[in-house]
Amino acid sequence: ATVVRRADYTAPAFWIDTVHLCFDLDPAKTRVLNKMTLRRNPDVPAAALRLDGDDLNLARVLVNGAGTSFKMDSGQLVLENLPEGNEPFALEIFTTCAPVKNTKLMGLYVSNESFFTQCEAEGFRRITYFMDRPDVMASFTVTLRADKEKYPVLLSNGNLTDSGDLDDGRHFATWIDPHKKPCYLFALVAGKLVCREQHIISRSGKEHLLQVYVRPGDMDKTEHAMQSLIKSVIWDEARFGLPLDLERFMIVATSDFNMGAMENKGLNIFNTKYVLANQATATDVDFANIESVVGHEYFHNWTGNRITCRDWFQLSLKEGLTVFRDQEFSMDLCADPSARAVKRIEDVRVLRTAQFPEDAGPMAHPVRPDSYIEINNFYTVTIYEKGAEVVRMMQTLVGRAGFAKGMTLYFARHDGSAVTCDDFAQAVADANPDSALAKLLPQFKRWYSQAGTPRLAATATYDAEAHTYTLNFAQSCPATPGQESKEPFVIPVSLGLIGAASGAALPLQVHGQSNVGDSHLFVMTQASESITFEKVLEEPVPSILRGFSAPVVVDYAYTDAQLLALLANDPDPFNRWEAGQRLALLIAIKYIASDAGGSSAIGQNDTYISAMRAVLRHPTLDAAFKELVLTLPSETYIADQLEVIDPQRIHAVREAMREQLATALFEDWQWAYAAHSQNGAYQPDTLSSGRRALAGLALNYLCLAARSSGDAIWPGKAYQRFKDADNMTDRFNALNALVQSGHALATPALARFHSLFQFEELVLDKWFALQAGCTDRGGQVLPAVRQLLKHPNFNIRNPNRARSLIFSYCSANPGAFHRADAAGYVFWSEHVLELDAINPQVAARLARALDRWKKLAEPYRHAAQAALQRVAAKADLSNDVREVISRALA
Ligand code: HT7
Ligand code: ZN
C-alpha cells in the first residue's frame, strides 16, 4: 500500500477546463463517454498526463479526435504523446462500468433500482478516467440517457437545459453546472422518485427552486427536511452574508449510503436517515440531526464548494469549518440561552467520547494530517469535531463579529479556488490584525499540526489577607504516533470564580486591567503560566474552561464541596453540567478502583444523590438540561479516564450507580415523569423535546427501580405508554425502558414494534440497534445479535442495517462486547472480514472498535490482540482495513 504524504504535494501538470459526460445508464453495463478539454499547466515542468481510474473497462481514447498511444500504470491511464505548447486540446475517453455490482457504494451504484453516485473522496475515478484530485476544477455538462419507465427522473448538478424522448423507450436530460467544480462534487441520480418542492425568494430578490426527492411512499416524511433547508438558506445569508448561488437546489435521499450525506454542488445526496421524518417514525433526536445535517451540507455550498481543499490533507478546511457552522446554526435556532448550552454540551459530549479516545489511540492524527494510506479512513472525529473546535477557538480569540469579518476576507481572497488550512487561518487573522489570534498565529496553528489532547493542570492559592487568588496552569500533551514531543498550544481558557460559601459569581479584577466582569478569557501560550485576581473578598471555587473554550482536559483537584458549589451556582451552564459529571466520575472511579473484579456493591453516595435530586426538582432549570445532568458519564468516557480498562468492572459500577439513582430518587422520578409527559400536539422543538427526554429518562429509571423491587406497576405503565404514544420519541423511550431494564414485557413490546413498523427501514434500524445495544445481564446480548443476523430484515450490504446491528453491538455496547470468553471479539473479526469483501469503508469503521485494545485489562487485552492478528493475517485485506489494523497492532 502506498503512503500519501502532505509534503509531496505538487500542482497538477494539466488543467481540465471543460468536461462533457454522456451516460447511457444500465445497471449491468453503463457506458460513459467523457469529452474533456485540457491544457498544460504552464507553472509546472512538463510531464505526462496521468488520469486516475478504478474498476473501469476502457474502450477508446482519442486526442483531438484521433487515436493515441497510452499505457496503464498502477491503475492510472498515462498519456505521454500529447500536443506540445499551452493550447487546449480535446481528450475523449469511452469506458463502461457495472453499477449493479458496486457494493462499495463509491462511484456509480444502484440502490433500490435507482442510480446514485458518491464521488468524495476518490469515487469519480470509478466513473471515468480523470484527474481525481480536488485542486482540478472544471465546468461540467452532463447528459443522462436511460429507460424512461424505469428511470423517469434524471438529475445532475446545475440547471436542466434540455430533455426529451429517445428511441426504444429511453429518454435523456442535459444538465449544465454554471460553477466550476472539482470532480468529487459531481453527482447524478436516476430513478423512480417523487419530490416536494418549494420556490423561495432570497434576500437579494432572486428566486430559487428547492426540491427534496425521495422514493414514492416517503413524501409524508419530507416536510421537516424542506423546512430545515429553508432555515439554512436564511441563516447563512443573515449570519455570514452568504447567499444561495444556484437557481435550483436539490436533496435526494437514498437508503444505501456510506456516510450521512454529500454536498455535491446543487445536488446533495443524503442517507435517508438524515432526510425522512414524521412524528410516527422519527424521534426528537432524528429531527434535530436532520436539521443539522441538512444545514451542514447546505453550508458546504460555500465552505467546501465555492472554496475547496487544495488536497485531502486539508479536509478539515471544509469539514471542521462546516461542522462549526452547523453547530452555530443549531445554536442560533435555539429559543433561549439554556437551549444553546444544551446543544454545546451535546457537542462536547461527542467530542469527549469519540474524539478524545481517537486522539489517545493508534489512529491519532493532527487536524491536518501529514500522511495517509486510505483517505477514507481520515473522515474522522478529529478532522470534523476537533477541527470545529479549532475554528471555534479562532472565533473566541477574535470575537463573533471579528470572525464574520474573517469569513468575508476568506471569500474575497479565495472564492473559486482550492486552498489550505493556512489560508483560512491567515484570512481570519488578517481581518483582525489587533487580535490575540493575529499576534499568536504561528503558535495557534499548532492545533493543525500537533495531534493529541492537551491536558491543563491547574492549582490555586487564595490569600485571604491580600484578597488575591492565583490560578497556576501547566499544559502538556501526550505523545502520539510519529509525534514524541509537543510544543505548547495557544489555549483560550474562559474563567470565572464562584464564592465557595456564598455561591455568588465574584467580580473578576485582573492585575493591571481596568475592565471587571464575571468571566475572563485567559489566553495561555506558555508551558506554565499563572493569573492572579485581585479584590477577591471570599474564598472562591474556580470555574475553569467555561463553555469548553478549548478541546483540552482540565485537571484540577476539585473537592466534592467545590463541585457541589459549581453545580448549584455556576452561571456558566456548561461548567454546571461539568461539575455534575465530575462528581459522578469521582464516585465511579472510586468504586472501579476499590475492588477490581469483585462485587459491584456501592456505598450510599448521599451527597451526590441529594445534589441530583436538587437539580431534578429545580424550579427554573429546563428539562433538557436536567436530563443531561442526570445522565451518568458513558462507559466509554469513564474508560478514557483510566490507565487500565476493565470493561466489565466499569459496566457493573455504572449500572450499580444507575440503580442507585433509580431507587434513591424513585419519588422524584415519579414526579418528573408526571410533570413532563404531557406535551400537547407533537412538535420537535427544543423545549418540548427536552421535556420528552426528561420523561424518557424518568421512565427508564422507574423501570430500573421496579426491577430491583419486583414492582410491576411501572413496567405496566411503560408498556401502556409504548402502545398509546402518538409519536416515536415517547414510544421508543417506553420500549427502551422495558428493554434496558430487562423486563418480561420487553419481548411482546419488541414483537409489536416490529410488526407495526416492518415496512419502515429506518424504524427497523432502531429495532435492531436497541437489541444490540441492550444492557447485558449474563451474556444474553451476543446470542441475540447472532440470531438477529439471520432475521429476514437483516442485510449486511446495507450500511445502515449493518451499523444498526453489528456496530451497535461492537462499538456502542462495551459491557456486552468485551466478554471474558472473547466471543465478542470473534464476532467482530468475522464481521470485519465479511464486510471488507463487500464495502471496505464500512469494514474499516468497524475495525476501529478495537483501537484501544492496549489499555484493556486481562483477559481482554490478549484476546483482543489475537482477534486483531486474525484479521491482519488475511492476505487480501483492503487498504482501508489494513491501515486501521496495522496501526492498532503497531
Ligand atoms: N463531505 C462528505 C463526505 C462523504 C464521504 C466521504 C467518503 C465516503 C463517503 C462519503 N459520503 C460523504 C460528508 C460531509 O461531511 O458533509
Ligand atoms: Zn461535511
pLDDT above 90: residue 669: yes
pLDDT above 90: residue 67: yes
Helix axes 686-709, 284-300, angle to 10 degrees: 140
- Averaged pLDDT, 542-551: 98
Give, for 155, the enclosing helix (H) or strand (E).
Answer: strand 153-156
Concatenating the DSSP letter of every residue in 575-590 gives HHHHHHHHHHHHHHHH
Q: Do 1-190 and 455-557 have matching folds?
A: yes
Return all residues near 333 (Cβ < 8 A) that are at least 6 apart.
231, 235, 291
111 lines ligand 1 (CB under 6 A): no
Query: Measured at the alpha carbon of residue 517, what is the angle toward residues 387 and 537, in degrees to the nearest 5?
Result: 120
Q: What is the pLDDT of residues 286-338, one digit of tens each?
A: 999 999 999 999 999 999 999 999 999 999 999 999 999 999 999 999 989 99
Q: How far is CA 25 from the centre of its chain?
A: 33
**Helical spans, DSSP H, in 630-760:** 635-640, 647-664, 666-676, 686-709, 713-724, 728-740, 746-757
For residue 512, what pLDDT is reported? 85
CA dist 703 and 699 (Å) reads 6
pLDDT above 70: residue 597: no
For residue 841, what pLDDT is reported? 98
pLDDT above 60: residue 596: no
CA dist 267 and 272 (Å) reads 15
CA dist 458 and 500 (Å) reads 17
121 lines ligand 1 (CB under 6 A): yes
**Helical spans, DSSP H, in 679-727:** 686-709, 713-724
Phi-psi region of 115 (alpha: psi -120 to 50; beta: other; left: phi over 0): beta
Q: Domain 1-190 is classified in which CATH homologous superfamily?
A: tricorn interacting facor f3 domain (2.60.40.1730)
- The matching CATH number, chosen from 3.40.50.300, 1.10.390.10, 1.10.3470.10, 3.30.565.10, for 309-449 is 1.10.390.10
For 757-890, which CATH class? mainly alpha
Residue 304 CA: which ligand 1 atom is closest?
A: 1
pLDDT above 60: residue 598: no
Backbone angles phi, psi at 251, to 5 degrees: -120, 130
CA dist 454 and 510 (Å) reads 25
Closest-CA residue, ligand 1 atom 15, reads 319
376 lines ligand 1 (CB under 6 A): yes
Q: What is the pLDDT of residues 710-756, one digit of tens each?
A: 999 999 999 999 999 999 999 999 999 999 999 999 999 999 999 99
389 lines ligand 1 (CB under 6 A): no
259 lines ligand 1 (CB under 6 A): yes
Residues facing 470 on adjacent strands: 461, 532
262 lines ligand 1 (CB under 6 A): yes
Return all residues near 120 (Cβ < 8 A) that are at least 6 apart.
184, 185, 262
Are 676 and 699 spatial neighbours (Cβ–Cβ below 8 Å)? no
- Catalytic residue, chosen from 122, 263, 291, 297, is 297
Are 93 and 79 spatial neighbours (Cβ–Cβ below 8 Å)? no
Return all residues near 674 (Cβ < 8 A) that are at least 6 apart.
none
| Distance from Cα 315 to the centre of ligand 2, integer Å | 9
Domain boundaries, the chain: 1-190, 309-449, 455-557, 757-890
Is 297 an active-site residue? yes
Please say whether the structural domain 455-557 has been given the CATH code 3.50.50.60.
no
| Distance from Cα 295 to the centre of ligand 2, integer Å | 10
CA dist 483 and 479 (Å) reads 6
Give, for 57, the enclosing helix (H) or strand (E).
Answer: strand 57-63
Q: What is the pLDDT of residues 335-353, one digit of tens each?
A: 899 999 999 999 999 999 9
Task: Report percent pLDDT > 70 for the chain.
Answer: 99
For residue 595, what pLDDT is reported? 65
Mutate to test the pocket of ligand 1, among 111, 124, 251, 262 (most ligand atoms within 8 A of CB): 262
Pairing label, strands 371-372, 308-309: unpaired
Q: How far is CA 498 from the centre of its chain?
A: 35
Q: What is the pLDDT of residues 810-849, one digit of tens each?
A: 999 999 999 999 999 999 999 999 999 999 999 999 999 9
Q: Name the CA radius of gyration of the chain, rounded.
A: 28
ipTM of the complex: 0.98
Closest-CA residue, ligand 1 atom 6, reads 120
Identify the nearest ligand to the CA of 325 by its number.
2
Q: What average pLDDT does the chain have?
A: 97
Mutate to test the pocket of ligand 1, among 117, 119, 124, 259 (most ligand atoms within 8 A of CB): 259
Task: Report percent pLDDT > 90 for the chain.
Answer: 97
Q: Specify the higher pLDDT residue, 492 or 513.
A: 492
Q: In what order do the strands lie in the sheet with 528-534?
A: 509-510, 528-534, 468-476, 455-463, 553-555
Q: What is the pLDDT of residues 130-188, one digit of tens each?
A: 999 999 999 999 999 999 999 999 999 999 999 999 999 999 999 999 999 999 999 99
| Distance from Cα 323 to the centre of ligand 2, integer Å | 7
